[in-house]
Amino acid sequence: MTDTVAPTPPWLDRYRASMMGTVTTPLALLVRGEGCHVWDADGTRYLDFLAGIAVNALGHAHPALVAAVSSQIATLAHVSNYFATPPQVELAERLRRITGAGDDGRVFLCNSGTEAIEVAFKLARLNGAGLNRAGGERPRILSLQRSFHGRTMGALSLTGQPALQEPFAPLVPGVEHIDSTIEALEAAMGPDVAALFLEPIKGEAGVVDLPEGYLKRARELTTEHGALLILDEIQTGIGRTGSWFAFQQFGIVPDAIALAKGIAGGVPIGALVTFGAASGLLQAGHHGSTFGGNPLAAAAGNAVLGEIESAGLVENAARRGAELRSLIAGIGHPLVAEVRGRGLLIGIGLSSPVAKELSAAALAHGLIVNAPNEHSIRIAPPLIVGDAELAEFRTLFIQALEATALEATA
C-alpha cells in the first residue's frame, strides 16, 4: 500500500520535538469533529468508530454538550471542595439513580478512570484493615491477568500486564493476578482477601468477555468471604454495552464501580460509585481532588447523561450493537474469525495477526478503528450511530479488509 514513503509532515516534527514520547506515533492531526465524523488538517473526513476509546458517547460537538459547557463556564467553572455546587450534587444524584445504588449509594467525583481506580484501591485497603470473621486480616487484593485498570502506581499494580509494570517495580504490594476462570477464582478466594477487581468485559485486552457465570460466582464468593467486589466499568459503563452499566446484564450488585470515559463526552471526569455498606468506608480526610467534580465537568456529565436518557441512547446502543455484530459477521470475510463484546463495545477476532495493518488500511479509507493487539480490532462508536453510519462503516470496513487481504497475499 505504501510504496512511496511520504515525507514527515511538519506537525509531526513539532509533535515529536515537544511532546514526551509516551505513546505511539499519532496517526493524523485532527482539527474538528461533528456527529460521528472527524476531520484532519488536510480536510480528510473520517468515520469515527472509536469515539476517543468509548468517550464521545454523543459523538463530536453535540449541541447539548456544547450548550451546557458554554453556559456553565460563563457562570461558575470551579470552586474548591470547601463549597458545593448544583451541577456536582445533581450529577451525584443522577449516578446513584442510574447505577441503582439508590439511597445507600455514594459518589466520589474525580478526573479520570485511573483516579477512580485509586479511590477504589483505598476502599479495598480500608476493607482489608477491618478484621475478618476469624479475627484475621485481609492483606490480599485479587485482579485478573490481562486486565487494564490504569497507569498510576496503584492502578498499575492492579493492571495484569507485566510488560507495563516491569519498568516501575516495586509496585504497591498485596495484589495478585489470577487467571480469568471460575476455578482460579475459587482457588484464590479466602478470608484474607480484601477485594476483587474485575472488568465485566476486558476492553484493552481486545474486548474479551468473562466466562459464562463468572460475575455471578464472583459475587457469591466475595460475599461469602467479606471481600469487596469492585467493577471497573470505565470502558463498559454509561450505556456502552446496551445497559447503563454492564453489571446490570448479569443479575448482580457490586460493592463499587469505577467510571470515567463516557460520563462527560470528552470533558475529563471520573467517578467511584459505592453500593450499600461500602458507602461507609471512606471517611473525612481519606481522599480528595482539587478539580474532581467541579461545576464545569459536572455540568458536562449532566448534559451527556441527560441526553443519553432523553434520546434513548442506551437502547440505541443495544439495538445498533446487535445490528453491527450481524453486519460484521454477514460480511463473511475470511479474516474475521469471531465477534465479541456487548452493545457498542465490539471486538473483532482476526484469523491472522494483521490487526495493525487492518486498522491502518481502515484509516487510509477514512475509517477509525483500533487494534488493541495483533489479533483484535476494537470498535466503540458514539452511542448516537444510526443507519447511515452503519452503512458507511460496512462499505469502508470491507474496503479495508480487502486491502489487508491483498497486501497479505502480495
Ligand X SMILES: *Cc1c(COP(=O)(O)O)cnc(C)c1O
Q: Measured from the CB atom, is 178 or 405 closer to ligand X?
A: 178
Q: Interface with ligand X by CB under 6 A: which range of 100-108, 110-118, 166-174, 215-223?
A: 110-118
Determine, following the binding rule CB under 6 A, whether residue 256 of this chain makes contact with ligand X: no
Options 148, 197, 214, 275; binder of ligand X; rule CB under 6 A = 148
Within positions 192 to 211, which residues make up the interface with ligand X, using CB under 6 A?
199, 203-204
Q: Interface with ligand X by CB under 6 A: which range of 13-21, 86-94, 231-239, 320-328?
A: 231-239
Determine, following the binding rule CB under 6 A, whether residue 260 of this chain makes contact with ligand X: yes
Determine, following the binding rule CB under 6 A, whether residue 232 of this chain makes contact with ligand X: yes
Min. distance of Cβ 121 from ligand X in angstroms?
A: 12
Determine, following the binding rule CB under 6 A, whether residue 370 of this chain makes contact with ligand X: no
- Whether 148 is catalytic is yes
In the set 255, 261, 393, 397, the catalytic residue is: 261
SS (H, E, C) the chain: CCCCCCCCCHHHHHHHHHCCCCCCCCCCCEEEEEECEEEECCCCEEEECCHHHHCCCCCECCHHHHHHHHHHHCCCCCCCCCCCCHHHHHHHHHHHHHHCCHHHCEEEEECCHHHHHHHHHHHHHHHHHCCCCCCCCCCEEEEECCCCCCCCHHHHHHCCCHHHHHHHCCCCCCEEEECCCHHHHHHHCCCCEEEEEECCEECCCCCEECCCCHHHHHHHHHHHHCCEEEEECCCCCCCCCCCCCHHHHCCCCCCEEEECCCCCECECCEEEEECHHHHHCCCCCCCCCCCCCCHHHHHHHHHHHHHHHHCCHHHHHHHHHHHHHHHHHHHCCCCEEEEEEECCEEEEEECCCCHHHHHHHHHHCCEECEEEECCEEEECCCCCCCHHHHHHHHHHHHHHHHHHHHHHHC
Q: Measured from the CB atom, is 146 or 356 closer to ligand X?
A: 146
Determine, following the binding rule CB under 6 A, whether residue 307 of this chain makes contact with ligand X: no
Min. distance of Cβ 51 from ligand X in angstroms?
A: 13
Min. distance of Cβ 111 from ligand X in angstroms?
A: 8
In the set 148, 197, 275, 397, the catalytic residue is: 148
Determine, following the binding rule CB under 6 A, whether residue 235 of this chain makes contact with ligand X: yes
In the set 202, 232, 250, 275, the catalytic residue is: 232
Q: Measured from the CB atom, is 264 or 348 closer to ligand X?
A: 264
- Whether 232 is catalytic is yes
Min. distance of Cβ 236 from ligand X in angstroms?
A: 7
Determine, following the binding rule CB under 6 A, whether residue 114 of this chain makes contact with ligand X: yes
Q: Measured from the CB atom, is 164 or 408 closer to ligand X?
A: 164
Which position's Cβ is nearest ligand X? 113
> What are the residues binding ligand X (CB under 6 A)?
112-114, 117, 148-150, 199, 203-204, 232, 234-235, 260-261
Task: Provide the annotated active-site residues.
Answer: 148, 232, 261
